[in-house]
């Protein structure tokens, strides 16, 4: 218990779930003064969730937060800030319409009163000079006018800046993703100085050598749990990659390897990195950490193969959206309408929809993929999330397009439905359809015949057949150089 008394923040047995998804499943994490903790893990491991718990943005459904030995009953954003917890978020989170000085004002609530502008300017300039000597950023500029790297620098400097309450624990979530090597170096040096001065840092990065050389202790997360926790000397590059994937699921089925190199190439695309090709009847996985260019490739493929102004008579590609609510379902429409919208051209004559044909096709697909509803005329929102997703699949599969693009469509879908959809995909692939499948879930990527791994917007590896496994994918997504 001595540890807990000294820790700046100690989280004990935190559990958080979003619907059926367990984001955190009993995580215990302590951050001591003068310590840099590295936090690594693949997509959905729960890194961002534990960060939200520590910075007060999220209250765990179970478990406790303790700070300086006091148990925090009402821990929130303001309580966290008063204790000197600061956070640099993965997505840039400054107000783009405000100047750097004004953003400083917003971050430091205590800064008000007459003449705050000059005080804020002094604070942010001092911090920028300390973290990035020779930065050349004028604090009067509007954030929207800065380059991405400059915005990131301002955000990091803001986290370390001091206006009354000094920063004691700074959480850096992928801070170097848009900095070049020399700026990243400056930042890492500052982190070490900050640690030497008694501050603490939680450092999240996918660039493993940064973690290995900067951190004192490394915590590896997977599926909402801490799976390994050791001093940094206890890890090397290889060991870290292995720890992230170590809990390989025992039930991962052996997948029949299908040889398709002879099949006819149906689609190819030259993005940055390795060339991309898809052959008839293949299931191709796009893997790597979320947001590293997979969705962009899918959109580029779709844009290149579909008409801009007029719908094409025989489209080559069709799209299954990932974010159902945002760009998948038409919430006010019936299930049947939602299903038939993509193939209305085939079901109409002289511009009028043939209702009998639409109904028959809807009934056939309802049968085939087992949409659980008494009536296809019910509203789409009467279905469960998994069944809504099935309707979206049916919408894509009912078109005549030979290539189906899938943008992580299985997010938040229950296991049973997933298995059913996997079976449909395999079945359709055997009939000669091509699937290009971006997924953040390892299990799904491992179902694919061939996998392209993305890093920083580029295809950096291609895995075929037996090489498609968790270890290879993780090691390719985390490859070391900055």
Partner 1 sequence: MTFRLSSDAVRLAIPALSLTLLLSAVFWLQPRAMSYIGLNLLFNLAVPIALATIAQMLVMAVNDLDLSMGAFVSFVACVTATFLRDAPAIGILILAGAVAAYAALGVVIHLRNLPSIVVTLGMSFVWGGVAVLLLPAPGGQAPDWVRWLMTVKPPLAPMAIVASIIIAVIAHFIVKRSSLGVLIRGVGGNQRSVERAGWSIVAARATAYALAGLFAVLAGIALVGLTTSADANIALRYTLLSIAGVILGGGEFIGGRVSPIGAVIGALTLTLAGSFLSFLRISPDWQIGAQGAILIIVLALRLMLNRLEKREKRR
Q: Which stretch binds partner 1 (CB under 8 A): 25-33, 94-102, 348-356, 419-427?
A: 94-102
Query: Which backbone phi and psi does 42 adopt, to 5 degrees?
Result: -80, -175
Q: Which of 429, 176, 480, 478 is nearest to 285 (CA)?
A: 429
Which of 11, 31, 94, 380: binder of partner 1 (CB under 8 A)? 94
Q: Which of residues 50-69 bind partner 1 (CB under 8 A)?
A: 55, 57
* Nearer CB in complex with partner 1: 96/412: 96
Q: Which of 4, 20, 19 is nearest to 63 (CA)?
A: 4
b/e code 120-144 from CB counts within 10 Å (16+ = b): bbebbbebbeebbeebebebeeebe
Least Å distance between CB 427 and partner 1? 42
| End-to-end CA, the chain | 39
Binding pattern for the stretch 9-48 against partner 1, x by CB under 8 A and - elsewhere: ----------------------------------------
Does residue number 115 form part of the binding site for partner 1 (CB under 8 A)?
Answer: no
Q: Which stretch binds partner 1 (CB under 8 A): 2-10, 85-93, 180-188, 418-426?
A: 85-93
**SS3 state of residue 271:** coil
Cα 148 to its chain centre, rounded Å, is 19
Dist. CA 194–CA 156, nearest whole Å: 13
Does residue number 96 form part of the binding site for partner 1 (CB under 8 A)?
Answer: yes
Least Å distance between CB 338 and partner 1? 24
Which of 21, 97, 166, 192: binder of partner 1 (CB under 8 A)? 97
Residues 6+ apart with CB under 8 A from 211: 38, 40, 203, 205, 218, 232, 240
* Nearer CB in complex with partner 1: 89/393: 89
Which of 62, 70, 129, 145: binder of partner 1 (CB under 8 A)? 145
Which of 4, 130, 141, 300: binder of partner 1 (CB under 8 A)? 141
Does residue number 325 form part of the binding site for partner 1 (CB under 8 A)?
Answer: no
Q: Are strands 62-67 and 283-288 parallel, antiparallel or unpaired?
A: unpaired
The answer to whether 437 and 448 have CB atoms below 8 angstroms apart is: yes
Q: Are strands 70-71 and 62-67 parallel, antiparallel or unpaired?
A: antiparallel
| Rg of the chain, C-alpha, whole Å | 25
Least Å distance between CB 249 and partner 1? 35
Least Å distance between CB 164 and partner 1? 13
Least Å distance between CB 373 and partner 1? 29
Which of 30, 105, 366, 450: binder of partner 1 (CB under 8 A)? 105
Q: Which of 402, 405, 430 is nearest to 258 (CA)?
A: 430
Binding pattern for the stretch 120-139 against partner 1, x by CB under 8 A and - elsewhere: ----------------x-x-
Does residue number 4 form part of the binding site for partner 1 (CB under 8 A)?
Answer: no
Which of 4, 32, 98, 300: binder of partner 1 (CB under 8 A)? 98
Q: Which of 436, 446, 356, 364 is nearest to 402 (CA)?
A: 436
Q: Which stretch binds partner 1 (CB under 8 A): 106-114, 162-170, 209-217, 428-436?
A: 106-114
Which of 13, 144, 166, 198: binder of partner 1 (CB under 8 A)? 144
Which of 142, 165, 277, 280: binder of partner 1 (CB under 8 A)? 142
Least Å distance between CB 106 and partner 1? 5
**SS3 state of residue 274:** coil
Angle at CA of residue 182, ends 180 and 187, nearest 5°: 95
* Nearer CB in complex with partner 1: 163/401: 163
Q: How many other CB atoms sit within 10 Å of the CB of residue 355?
A: 11
Dist. CA 389–CA 366, nearest whole Å: 13
Residues 6+ apart with CB under 8 A from 129: 135
Q: How many chain residues touch partner 1 (CB under 8 A)?
A: 30
Least Å distance between CB 111 and partner 1? 8
Least Å distance between CB 97 and partner 1? 4
Q: Structure tokens of 15?
A: 């559990």
Least Å distance between CB 105 and partner 1? 5
Does residue number 296 form part of the binding site for partner 1 (CB under 8 A)?
Answer: no
Least Å distance between CB 20 and partner 1? 24
* Nearer CB in complex with partner 1: 147/378: 147
Cα 166 to its chain centre, rounded Å, is 31
Least Å distance between CB 44 and partner 1? 21
**Given the structure tokens 């935190």, which residue do they identify?**
14
Q: What separation in angstroms does the CA of 318 have from each of 224, 295, 362, 423?
A: 34, 14, 18, 19
Footprint of partner 1 (CB under 8 A)? 55, 57, 77-78, 81, 87, 89, 93-98, 102-103, 105-107, 109, 111-112, 116-117, 136, 138, 140-142, 144-145
């Amino acid at each position: 218990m001595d540890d807990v008394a000294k820790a700046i923040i100690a989280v004990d047995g935190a559990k958080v779930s979003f619907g059926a998804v367990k984001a955190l499943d009993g995580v215990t994490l302590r951050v001591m003064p003068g310590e840099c903790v590295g936090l690594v893990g693949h997509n959905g491991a729960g890194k961002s969730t534990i960060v939200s718990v520590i910075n007060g943005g999220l209250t765990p459904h179970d478990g406790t937060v303790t700070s300086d030995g006091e148990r925090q009953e009402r821990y929130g954003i303001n309580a966290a800030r008063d204790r000197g917890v600061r956070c640099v978020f993965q997505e840039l989170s400054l107000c783009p319409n405000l100047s750097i000085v004004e953003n400083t004002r917003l971050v430091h609530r205590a800064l008000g009163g007459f003449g705050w502008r000059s005080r804020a300017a002094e604070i942010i300039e001092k911090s920028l000079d300390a973290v990035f000597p020779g930065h050349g950023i004028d604090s009067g500029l509007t954030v929207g006018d800065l380059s991405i790297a400059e915005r990131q620098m301002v955000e990091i400097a803001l986290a370390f800046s001091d206006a009354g309450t000094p920063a004691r624990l700074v959480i850096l979530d992928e801070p170097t993703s848009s900095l070049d090597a020399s700026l990243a170096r400056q930042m890492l040096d500052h982190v070490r100085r900050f640690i030497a001065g008694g501050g603490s840092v939680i450092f999240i990065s996918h660039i493993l050598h940064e973690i290995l050389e900067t951190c004192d202790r490394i915590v590896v997360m997977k599926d909402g749990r801490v799976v390994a926790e050791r001093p940094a000397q206890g890890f090397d590059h290889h060991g870290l990659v292995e720890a992230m994937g170590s809990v390989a699921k025992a039930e991962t089925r052996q997948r029949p390897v299908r040889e398709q190199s002879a099949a006819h190439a149906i689609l190819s695309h030259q993005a940055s990195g390795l060339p991309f090709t898809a052959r008839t009847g293949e299931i191709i996985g796009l893997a790597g950490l979320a947001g590293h260019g997979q969705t962009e490739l899918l959109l580029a493929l779709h844009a290149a193969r579909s008409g801009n102004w007029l719908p094409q008579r025989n489209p080559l590609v069709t799209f299954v959206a990932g974010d159902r609510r945002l760009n998948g379902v038409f919430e006010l429409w019936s299930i049947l309408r939602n299903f038939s919208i993509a193939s209305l051209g085939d079901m109409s004559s002289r511009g009028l929809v043939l209702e009998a044909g639409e109904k028959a096709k809807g009934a056939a697909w309802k049968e085939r993929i087992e949409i659980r509803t008494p009536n296809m005329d019910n509203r789409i929102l009467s279905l469960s999330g998994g069944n809504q997703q099935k309707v979206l699949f049916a919408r894509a599969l009912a078109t005549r397009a030979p290539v189906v693009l899938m943008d992580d469509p299985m997010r938040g879908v229950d296991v049973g439905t997933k298995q059913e959809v996997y079976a449909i995909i395999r079945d359709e692939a055997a009939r000669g359809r091509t699937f290009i499948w971006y997924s953040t879930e390892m299990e799904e990527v491992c179902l694919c015949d061939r996998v392209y791994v993305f890093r920083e917007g580029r295809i950096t590896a291609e895995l075929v057949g037996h090489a498609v496994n968790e270890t290879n994918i993780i090691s390719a997504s985390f490859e070391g150089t900055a």
